[in-house]
Chain A
Amino acid sequence: MYQFNLSATKSYMEVLPAAVVTTLLLSGLAILASIFVGIAGALCRTSNVRVLRFIGGAYVELLRNIPLLIVIYLVYFGLAQLGLRISGFTSALIALTLNAGAYMTEMIRGGLAAIGKGQFEAARSQAMTAPQIYRYIVMPQVFRIIYAPFGNLCIGIVLGSALASIVGVEDVTSWMHTVGSNSFRYLEAFLMAGAIYLALAQTINLLRIGTGRWLLSHSPSATRQ
């Protein structure tokens, strides 16, 4: 009979913080980078230049329909075969950014699309400059629309970062696998690692809900709706 024993993972606890930091670093960097990719992608998709629109659309459709694991393999093994040798962490970061960037693109595009053309015209007729229009007219409204999907996307990136362990990145999932295969304590290791991912995901979730509440109480249009 299996004896449940959480203390069996004790001797591996000292390497756990480093694993958590790796997971946080990888997901954090991927979130930051994919925001920039997303903005660039959204600008491409809404551009007046047809070629840019096509490239933006093709990028989104390709990356949304190819599994993240395959993108990681393509970057990791593929680039190595072409003579570029990069670490597991870098290739996982590139793959995660490419993947999440596609979703960011669609999210930001959706947010921008919700702002009517008339608002731009009205703002320009008030002699606002382009940076002013984005700062005072576009950004506050887009933020209201995208904060919720953005939170979900961040959770998706944290969960996706687990795949980095396949190319040798020593993150939380890799820690779980090491503990499991060394001590045969897979159940305990799963519970520990699962609790960490759960805490990360739910923290983002609560931040998202908190942002929603904050926006509601600070909304100039709240009474109108």
Chain B
Amino acid sequence: MQFDDNVAHYWRFFLSGTMTTLWISWLALMLGGAIGAIIAHMRLSRVGWLRAVAIVYTEFFRSIPPLMLFFFCYYGISYALGLNLNPFTSATLALTLTASSLMAEVVRAGIESVGRGQWLAAISAGMTPLQVFRYVIWPQALRVCLPPATGVYISTLKDSSVASVIGYIELTRSGLLIRETTGSSFDVFLIIATIYFVINYGLSLCGGALERRFRIVH
């Protein structure tokens, strides 16, 4: 099989697609992390209905295919609420919802990793609950959260390829467009697959390094 030279002429397009993919996934990870942190605190709350809401939230987004969320955020919201969302907003919303349910579990594990005795000790030292979180729980939880958070970023990067179906021009959509102009599918998708692989494999190596660095010896 001969590699199609035409495809290589579109390297700028591949590059901008890669940047867009990295950017939207990062955005979704940050927004999802913020929402996920709130959900995680609700999940660990002593108030029963807050816990219930948090469980339903995470289980719901864990049980819905990302593709359907993209459809819903793009078409569903447009028709139901009369809002005209552009592909970028819809894709960010769908990715954020998926990422937030994953991040909720990550943050919950992080907070639970800090022993209960520390909470009691801090309270008995006269700290307010907010101070306990700020100075005792969160700094330690963050170390535990970082390695799995890179896993969520990888998963979000992979999910972001689905944004191509609602017409958002990220890496996969760029590939589909290049495929239409050059007519060579295999080459284009091989390049796309390589780009995703390099990014995600690099990230997973970083995650592994973080895990080794932050390992807490009990």
- A→B interface (CB under 8 Å): 2, 4, 61-62, 64-71, 73-74, 77-78, 80-82, 155, 159-163, 165-166, 173, 176-177, 180-181, 184-187, 190, 193-194, 197-198, 200-202, 205
Contact = CB atoms under 8 A, between A and B. Distances in A.
A176 B68 contact: yes
A193 B137 CA distance: 40
7 contacts: A61-B197, A65-B154, A65-B204, A70-B189, A78-B186, A162-B66, A202-B63
A200 B175 CA distance: 33
Interface in B40-75: 59-60, 62-68, 71-72, 75
Given A65-B200, A73-B189, A194 B64 contact: yes
Given A81-B186, A187-B80, A190-B76, A201 B62 contact: yes
Contacts of A64: 200, 204
Interface residues on B, range: 35 or more
Contacts of B79: 2, 184-187
Interface string B67-95: 11001100110111110000000000000
B76 A186 contact: yes
Contact of A69 (B162, B201, B204): B162
Interface in B148-184: 154, 157-159, 161-162, 164-165, 172, 175-176, 179, 184
A2 B82 contact: yes
A163 B162 contact: yes
Given A176-B68, A190-B68, A70 B60 contact: no
B193 A77 contact: no
Mostly, the B contact residues are helix
A2 B158 contact: no
A186 B201 CA distance: 37
Contacts of A80: 185
Given A78-B189, A177-B71, A197 B76 contact: no
Given A66-B196, A194-B64, A81 B184 contact: yes
Contact of A180 (B1, B59, B75, B193): B75
B15 interface: no
Given A65-B154, A65-B196, A78-B185, A70 B161 contact: yes
A198 B60 contact: yes
Contacts of B179: 77
B71 A180 contact: yes
A200 B64 CA distance: 10
Interface of B: 1, 59-60, 62-68, 71-72, 75-76, 78-82, 154, 157-159, 161-162, 164-165, 172, 175-176, 179, 184-186, 189-190, 192-193, 196-197, 200-201, 204
The 9 closest A-B pairs by CB, nearest first: A162-B65, A201-B63, A77-B185, A65-B200, A67-B161, A186-B76, A67-B158, A78-B186, A187-B80
Contacts of A162: 65-68
A70 B175 CA distance: 10
A197 B197 CA distance: 29
B63 A198 contact: yes
Contacts of B64: 159, 194, 197-198
A65 B65 CA distance: 19
Contacts of B81: 2
B172 A187 contact: no
Given A67-B158, A173-B68, A186-B80, A74 B172 contact: no
B1 A186 contact: no
Contacts of B164: 69
A173 B66 CA distance: 11
Nearest to A164: B67
Contacts of B184: 81
Given A159-B66, A186-B71, A202 B59 contact: yes
Given A162-B67, A173-B68, A177-B71, A73 B162 contact: no
Contact of B68 (A62, A193, A202): A193
Nearest to B185: A77
